[in-house]
Each structure stands twice: as C-alpha cells, then as structure tokens.
Amino acid sequence: MRHLSYTLYDYQQALVKDLAVASKQHTHVIGQSPGGTGKTKTFVYIGTQVCNRGGVTLILTERKNVFNQNLNEAGAVGINDESPKFVHIAEGGFYVAMTQTLERRNLIIEQFNRLTCNFYIIIDECHSGRYSNVLRRLTTGKRLGFTATPDFRYAKHLPEFYNDCVTTHPVQWFIDKNILCDYQHIQRKSGKGTDKLEKKAGDFTATSQRKFFGTDTHYQELFNDLREYPFNKCMLFCASIEHAEEVFEVMVSAGFSCSINHSKRDDSVYQVAKFDKLHETNIIISVGGMTTGYDYPEVDLIVLYRATTSLIIYLQMLFRGDRKKEGMFFRCLDYGSNFDRHGAYFADHDWKEMWNKKEKNRSKEDAAAMTTCPHCESMIAASAKKCKFCGFVMPEKPRPVEPGIAEDVTKRFDALAGKRVSELTPKELSLFANLRNKKMFAIRVAKAQEQLNPGFLIDFAASMGYKSGWLDHQPIPQERIEFSDIILR
C-alpha cells in the first residue's frame, strides 16, 4: 500500500472527482489547471490510488528535470537512458518514463499493452506533441493528460488522443485565494514594431527575432529596465539557442550576473545551480527548456526578450513567476508586444472549448480590458482611476458622444463590485462581459433575463455593439435558462 505525505486542497480534490467522472464517460481526458496550482501532486495522487487498487500507473514526461521531479514525488520505478533496457511491469506498479526512452523499449511497451488490470497513462504537459509516437503504440489503458494550456491552435494532436477536457478555476480565482501571485506587466514597443518580424509555421522566426532584438537600442532599453526595476531572481526568455548565447555574452560584458541554460550546453546543471542553489547569479537566460517543470518561487521578474504568436508559450513563460513568495507579486518586462496578442496572464480562457476547436479570431479581447499607465508604463485595468504601482491618478476621459462601454469602464465599473450578475442592467452586463472576457457567459445571462424581462437582450446587444442580425441567431427556449448567479468582485 502506497502512502502520500500530503493531502490535496479542496480544488485539487474537486478536479480529481471531475476527472474520474469524465474518465468513465470519455476514457481519455485532459485535466487543465494553471501553472503553480499543484498538477504534479494531483496526478501522483490519482496514480497512487490506481496502484493501491491493484492497477498500473505510467507517467510520461519529455524533460529530464520533470522526470526527476515526478520520479521523486511518486516514489516510482524510472524508465530512462540510465535504467535497464528491460523493466518488469507488474500489477500495482508505478512507473515514470522519459517518452524518448520508452519509444525505443519495445519489450516494455508490449508488457504495458498486455495488461489486463486497470491501467492509467498520465501525460505531464500534454500540450506537447512529443508524446504522439509513444501514445500511438500504447494501445491499452486510459489516458489522463495534464496541462495549464490545452490550446488546439498550437497543439493539434490533442483531439487525436483525448475525448474531453476538465478544467479547474481560472488564474484570477487563484490570485484572489492567495495561491498564485498578482503581477505587473510592462510592455515596451519599438518604433518599427514586431509586426515586421518574419513568420514561419505560424510563429516568428528565430533569425528575424535575433536581428530585431539584437540592436543596441533594444539592449540599452533592456539594461536600463534591469537596473531600474528591483528584483530578486529573473528569468529571461530568448527566441533560440543562438539568440540566448548572444544575449548572455552581451549581458555578462555589460556587468550583469547571469546564468544560461539550454539543451546544447554541457554545463546546464551547473548554470542552473549557480542561479537557484549557489546564488552566484540572479538572472538566468533560457529558451524553451525552462518554460515547464521549473518551479522556483524566488523568481519575481520575467523578461520576454522574444515575441510569440503562441498563447501556450506566452503563458508557460509567465507561469514561471506566479509561485507563492513574499509579497505575492511578480513583474513582467515584455519587449515583444506579447501582451497585445494574448492579454493579461490572469485573463479567462475557455480551455474546455479551446482544446478541440479550430483557430478562432480571439484577437485582443483580453487586452482591450487593459491600458498603459502614462507615468510608469505598467499594464493596468482600463477601469482603474489610479495606477496601483506608482499611484498616478488617471485623467478623466471626455464623455463620448454616444455613451457605451468606454464610458462604463472609466465611470461605473467600480460600482459593480458586490452586485450579483442577476442584478446587472444590460449595459453593466456588457461591461462585465468585456472586462472579464466572459462574453459567452454574459450572453447566457442576457437570454435568461430576456425570459423574465422582454427587451433585455436587445439592450444588451446594443451595449455590446452587436449588429442587428446577431439577435436573429439567439433563439430563446421555452424552458428556464439557468446560470451561476455569482457576486462580482
């Protein structure tokens, strides 16, 4: 009988129960929870329960640091390049495998496929396509994939291996519960802008980014910011290995205390140790290898010295700074206009739909709810009357000729706090929908209110700026529409 040294929080227990129900109905399920909310402990708990009932659990990972973390957490048998080529798979066994190794171990795969007991395959960071080959060869068992960012647009393999997605709370809920950190986002924009960068395979090319960010102007801006904004530990993300090496050399020459970590460095372990254990450096420069599986709460500054069109990459980088720490705060310096593409780190995303949907134009819904403080250049809520970072009092905007969302943002949003959704007027509901990225939920509420107050939906559509034809596609059923009557905070 395996015993764990921890107990799950209520939100983790709820996720486990939801996954159990979904797994019975759909067999292969994604479990989504933001970075820093304990996904590893959650799936190790699930795997332990499976093993204690005589079943077999296999955790798949693609990165060495994550492999070691999962192996230690689970107290499991490891399958990697250092393990024997043949490992006996027994009922009640718990295994953690590097997917690259397991692909080459045919005899081990055959043993997994012959199992007649309850068999669960847990995929850590399942948004990565690196697992596809081995998952196609594991022909039995139930799959549970865990990730913070199941976005079909950049993970098109997800519908092939999963049938459903279970989600937990959004980032803002965890911030409000003091589980994740709040943050300040400062975005720097150059004169030419990142729209001039070349694209290939849907994202900006490493070559064009290295050239773009390699100018003296960009480096001086970066150096000035690093000297101006206080921080304890900083993670700086680059576009490629070559770019990271160049940035490392330039920053060391400029007197900054830096480490560097990427797959082609033989001293990567030492470089990371200099940053987080020996405390010889306070900045670590990396590419993609540290966007997942690296949890170091002391990180309170994230530097995006790169641009990306991928919401997955963007959020995974920001999640490196959201762990609990003194002050419960981190800062992001963004030189690639990433905020304009993806919005705030705490914005809501409909992962339950996004994991299996073709690309939609979600444009800048999240970013529209934010603005830039003219004094300190922090990203703050568009409704803010005063910058919470520097105290600058925002000047009042002139009243628009036709009052709408813009006026509500500057004049009335604070008045919504404490109200229930059912108490909102059509205009207030549209304000909530835009600022909190809750448009689908707000439409459901508006339809429910239309059942009780005819004309509500028309006024809501007008406040949202929808064309008259939109109403023709919003049928109102006879049965009562239910919704969660939440209190706004």
**Domain end among 325, 347, 369:** 347
Asked whether residue 251 is domain-assigned, the answer is yes
Chain centre to alpha carbon of residue 256: 29
- Please give the pLDDT value at position 468: 63
Tell how strand 199-200 and strand 283-286 pair up. Answer: unpaired
The reply to whether 220 and 278 lie within a common domain is yes
∠ CA 203-208-212, rounded to 5°:
115
Determine the pLDDT at residue 381.
76
81 neighbors 98 (Cβ within 8 angstroms): yes
**Does a structural domain hold residue 299?**
yes
Strands (E), 273-420: 283-286, 299-304, 329-334, 370-372, 378-381
Q: Are residues 166 and 178 in the same domain?
A: no
Q: Check whether residue 126 and residue 92 sit in a common domain.
A: yes
- Both structure tokens of 197: 């960068």
Whether residue 183 is found in the same domain as residue 221: yes
Measured between alpha carbons, how far is 30 from 163 in angstroms, rounded to an integer?
8
What pLDDT does residue 368 have? 43
323/210 same-domain check: yes
Do the domain assignments include residue 129?
A: yes
Q: Which residues pair with 146 in a beta bridge?
A: 31, 124
Pair 328, 200 in one domain = yes
Q: Which domain holds residue 415?
A: 405-473
- End residue of a domain, out of 170, 186, 206: 170
Q: What is the 3-state secondary structure (H, E, C) of 203-263?
A: EECHHHHHHHHCCHHHHHHHHHHHHHCCCCEEEEECCCHHHHHHHHHHHHHCCCCEEEECC
Task: Report pTM.
Answer: 0.76
Shared-domain flag, residues 415 and 295: no
Claim to verify: residue 236 and residue 137 sit in the same structural domain: no
The CATH code of the domain that includes 128 is 3.40.50.300
Q: Where is the domain boundary, 347, 365, 388?
A: 347
C-alpha distances in angstroms, 461 versus 219, 400, 457? Answer: 47, 19, 6
Structure tokens at 98: 């590097």
Using CA of residue 141, residue 357, residue 484, residue 315, what is the dihedral sign? positive
CA distances from 313 to 14, 127, 155, 239, 478 (A): 27, 10, 11, 11, 44
Q: Is residue 4 part of a domain?
A: no
Contact 52, 1 (CB under 8 A): yes
50 and 127 both lie in a single domain: yes
The predicted structure's pLDDT at residue 476:
86
pLDDT score, position 434: 72
pLDDT of residue 227: 95
What pLDDT shows up at residue 375?
Answer: 73
**Residue 121: beta bridge partners?**
58, 143
On whether the CB atoms of residues 81 and 101 are closer than 8 A, the answer is yes
Q: Does residue 159 belong to any structural domain of this protein?
A: yes
Residue 478 within any structural domain of the chain: no
217 and 270 belong to one structural domain: yes
Give me the pLDDT at residue 438, please: 81
CA nearest neighbour of 94 among 46, 139, 135, 130: 46
Residue 5 lies in a domain: no
Give yes or no: residues 107 and 93 share one domain: yes
* Alpha-carbon dihedral sign for residues 242, 243, 244, 250: positive
**Number of separate domains in the chain:** 3
CA distance linking residue 342 with residue 340, whole number of Å: 6
Question: Tens of pLDDT along the chain (489 residues)?
Answer: 788 889 999 999 999 999 999 999 989 999 999 999 999 999 999 999 999 999 999 999 998 888 988 898 889 999 999 999 999 999 999 999 999 999 999 999 999 999 999 999 999 999 999 999 999 999 999 999 999 999 999 999 999 999 999 999 999 999 999 999 999 999 987 655 787 899 998 899 999 999 999 999 999 999 999 999 999 999 999 999 999 999 999 999 999 999 999 989 999 999 999 999 999 999 999 998 898 888 999 999 999 999 999 999 999 999 999 999 999 999 999 999 999 899 989 999 999 999 997 655 544 444 445 676 777 667 777 778 888 878 888 776 544 433 322 222 323 446 677 889 899 998 888 888 876 778 888 899 999 998 898 889 888 888 887 776 778 778 888 888 988 888 887
Per-residue model confidence (pLDDT) at position 192: 59
The answer to whether residue 204 is domain-embedded is: yes
Distance CA 26, CA 23 (A): 5
119 and 179 assigned to the same domain: no
Q: Summarize the chain as % helix, strand, coil (round to 5).
A: 40, 15, 45
